[in-house]
């Protein structure tokens, strides 16, 4: 049961990063399509469930794939760099305190935690997620409920393009699954077949429920669409501070997951720990200087395309490998 709970927290902590929890991703991929966003969220739930279940069944073959395929390795590298940079950029947007010392201390904590998960891996990440993710979800949902009302929802101009909205929903799922695909696959090693199905279903249902509520809140407040962090900026005073802290946790949990993913995959090909740390932490920090809006609006769609290639490579290559092994066994049996 504990393994299931930790797996669910790890999956949610991976997906619910700065773009999701700040509302920016939800605007780009769902809310701007108005009423069409609701069937798209239902589609996202189904796709999340199917992909989570399939990835959990891969086990350690995902890491092996990154070790043996340069194509998969570099696609995963670029995905992790894009998403990690978005998390760093999101955190930078949140550091608006007047005192430079406060900002420095917060950023130092982020780098320290990044180093800890880089050094100690999945075990340390599970401990951090066990504390941060449930707290983040509860506070986030409580804050969103304060913005719910019975006034009519906004149906944006782009809501008429129903077909496009479904394409964006598919890209959204791929985008948020591909970046944590390797970690999700490794989580399945300690789970039974039944537990994998349960973890996939609960994770997909939780994420889709949060997505639905956030989408409704955004449609009730369409003037926030143009904001860099819509779900933060629609609050004021204490509410703004609380949501800022919630988004900070979302950025942090996703960032730490990506550090573990990238460093784990690189250790299969490189023994230089300093180089691995530079690529896993410092390089995304440098890319984050492009800005949060730029990364989400331009690099995320590119990451979606790369994510399609990576998921296909992980999922179908594993199937081909199994068929190849089965074929060899049949040939040996016939030879004998």
CB 51 within 8 A of CB 260: no
Q: What is the mean pLDDT of residues 304-315?
A: 75
Spell out the domain ranges in the chain: 2-322
pLDDT (average), residues 240-255: 89
* Residue-level pLDDT at 63: 65
Residues 6 or more apart from 96 whose CB is under 8 A from it?
244
Provide the 8-state DSSP code for 269: T
Name the more confident of 145 and 64: 145
Is the pLDDT at 324 greater than 50? The verdict is no
- Provide the pLDDT for residue 112: 94
Question: Over the chain, what is the mean pLDDT?
Answer: 82
The whole-number pLDDT of residue 18 equals 60
Alpha carbons 168 and 181: distance in angstroms, whole number:
19
pLDDT of residue 66: 67
The pLDDT > 90 percentage for the chain reads 27
Does the pLDDT of residue 330 top 70, yes or no? no
pLDDT digits (tens, 9 = 90+) for 132-158: 999 999 999 999 999 888 777 766 555
What is the pLDDT at residue 326? 41
C-beta separation of 171 from 29 below 8 A: yes
pTM over 0.85: no
Q: Give the pLDDT score at 140.
A: 92
Output the CA–CA distances (angstroms, integers) from residue 244 to 12, 96, 158, 233, 293, in the order listed. 19, 10, 29, 9, 17
Distance, in Å, from the CA atom of 22 to the CA atom of 73, rounded to the nearest integer, reads 29
**Range from 96-110, 129-143, 159-173 that averages highest in pLDDT:** 129-143
Predicted local confidence at residue 262, as pLDDT: 85
Decide if pLDDT at 285 tops 60.
yes
Token pair in block for residue 29: 């991929």
Given a cut of 50, whether residue 287 has pLDDT beyond it is: yes
Query: In sequence order, what DSSP letters do the residues of 220-231 get, joined into one string?
Result: H-GGGTTSSSHH
pLDDT per residue as tens digits for the range 179-207? 777 778 888 888 888 999 999 999 999 99
Whether the predicted pLDDT of 319 surpasses 70:
no
Helix, strand, or coil here: 191? coil
Distance CA 81, CA 67 (A): 18
Q: What is the pLDDT of residue 154?
A: 62
Residue 117's pLDDT is what?
94
pLDDT value for 325: 43
Closest CA to 87 of 150, 16, 9: 16
Q: What is the mean pLDDT of residues 225-230?
A: 84
2-322 sits in which CATH class? mainly alpha
Flag whether pLDDT at 171 surpasses 90: no
Confidence of residue 172 (pLDDT cuts 50, 70, 90): confident
Distance in angstroms (rounded) separating the CA atoms of residues 116 and 118? 5
215: nearest Cα among 165, 253, 256: 165
Q: Name the nearest CA neighbour of 196 among 302, 327, 75, 50.
A: 50
**What per-residue confidence (pLDDT) applies to 17?**
73
Mean pLDDT to the nearest integer, 274-278 = 93
Highest average pLDDT, of 53-62, 106-115, 223-232, comes from 106-115
pLDDT of residue 252 exceeding 80, the answer is yes
Spatial separation of the C-alpha atoms in residues 256 and 264, rounded to whole Å: 12
CA 265 to chain centre: 17
At residue 41, does pLDDT exceed 90? yes
The pLDDT of 209-237, averaged and rounded, is 88
pLDDT at 3: 84
User: Is the per-residue pLDDT at 335 higher than 50?
Assistant: no
């Amino acid at each position: 049961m504990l393994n299931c709970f930790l797996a669910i927290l790890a999956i949610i902590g991976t997906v619910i990063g700065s773009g999701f929890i700040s509302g920016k991703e939800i605007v780009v991929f769902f809310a701007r399509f108005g009423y069409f966003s609701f069937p798209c969220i239902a589609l996202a739930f189904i796709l999340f469930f199917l992909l989570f279940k399939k990835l959990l069944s891969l086990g350690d073959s995902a890491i092996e794939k990154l070790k043996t395929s340069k194509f998969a390795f570099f696609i995963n590298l670029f995905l992790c760099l894009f998403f990690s940079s978005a998390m760093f950029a999101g955190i930078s947007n949140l550091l608006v305190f007047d005192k430079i010392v406060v900002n420095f201390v917060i950023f130092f904590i982020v780098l320290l935690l990044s180093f800890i998960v880089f050094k100690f891996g999945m075990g340390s990440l599970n401990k951090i997620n066990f504390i941060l993710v449930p707290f983040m979800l509860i506070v986030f949902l409580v804050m969103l409920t304060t913005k719910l009302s019975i006034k009519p929802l906004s149906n944006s101009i782009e809501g008429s393009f129903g077909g496009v909205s479904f394409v964006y929903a598919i890209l959204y799922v791929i985008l948020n699954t591909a970046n944590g695909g390797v970690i999700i696959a490794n989580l399945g090693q300690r789970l039974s077949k039944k537990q994998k199905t349960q973890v996939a279903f609960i994770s997909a249902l939780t994420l889709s429920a949060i997505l639905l509520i956030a989408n409704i809140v955004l449609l009730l407040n369409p003037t926030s669409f143009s904001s860099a962090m819509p779900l933060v900026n629609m609050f004021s005073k204490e509410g703004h501070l609380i949501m800022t802290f919630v988004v900070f946790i979302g950025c942090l949990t996703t960032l730490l997951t990506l550090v573990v993913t990238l460093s784990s995959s690189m250790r299969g090909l490189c023994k230089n720990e300093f180089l691995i740390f530079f690529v896993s932490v410092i390089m995304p920090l440098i890319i984050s200087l492009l800005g949060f809006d730029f990364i989400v609006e331009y690099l995320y769609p590119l990451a979606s395309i790369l994510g399609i290639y990576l998921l296909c490579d992980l999922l179908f290559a594993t199937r081909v490998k199994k068929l190849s092994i089965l074929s060899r066994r049949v040939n040996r049996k016939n030879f004998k």
